[in-house]
Amino acid sequence: MRRVSIDDLKAMKQRGEKIAMLTAYDYPTARLLDEAGVPIILVGDSLGMVVLGYSSTLPVTMADMLHHVAAVVRGTQRTHVVADMPFMSYQASSEDALRNAGRFLQEAGAQSVKLEGGVSVAETVRRLVEVGIPVMGHIGLTPQSLNQFGGYKIQGKTPAAAVKLLNDAMALEQAGAYAVVLETIPAPLGKLVSERLSIPTIGIGAGPYCDGQVQVLHDMLGLHPDFVPKHAKQYAHLAEEIGRAAREYLTEIREGRFPTERESFMMGPEGEAVLAELSGLV
């Protein structure tokens, strides 16, 4: 079975076919998404918040990402797996970026990497692409720049900010990126950028006009009901279901209703005879 390639994704844009991308962080989830036909899985550094319990993505390390990317790759056969490059794995130098991006492909088995930034990282993107590492860009609200933005705020709202974002998008395309994530920007700006670029745009909080959409799986499945981002839609409410199942299990344990004979292993006549003999010796 052939994996979805970057050429397949570009062709989807040309055909006007919308692209669906979801995050995943482990083997069983990746397997389910792969079997469902999701063309792209992003192993996002969002795992820091939704899996590891950090308050932001900044503490996530290369070791964390390599571990989770490898697990997702093992769970997939057809899906294109994108590895998110964590904070300070590419910002210090192009050499760091090459080394770390190469590890995602060589050690973890990813098909491409994603990094944040526009004009400022264009040369790094170009170098990665030149050595055969496909790159997905990410502009708009870039979570690794949280402290610079002063929080999770909508980007591109002023004319100057919109022009900068468009320039960032075009710089990434010119550098060889095969797609660009647009996060938390006004929908009309998402539409303009999508029309200007020949490569796919993947929106998250960027309106319906992007070539594709990405959602954090835990938001979509309702696993963190205390906070649901405005751009997220819950297609399930698994937090409620998991809580219900745990409470039912707890009740059955306390009342002695689990396990029953159905969940227990029995012995044949010979084994019961041995037990009877042992009982007599004790």
Residues annotated as part of the active site: 183
**Quick one: which H or E segment has residue 47?**
helix 47-50
For residue 223, the one-letter residue type is L
Angle between helices 159-175 and 122-130 (to 10 degrees): 20
Considering only CA atoms, which of 4, 179, 178 is closest in space to residue 77? Answer: 4
Structure tokens at 242: 């998991």
| Terminal alpha carbon distance of the chain | 60
CA atoms of 13 and 212, how far apart (whole Å): 9
* 154 within 8 A of 189, measured Cβ to Cβ: no
State the residue for tokens 């079997």: 35
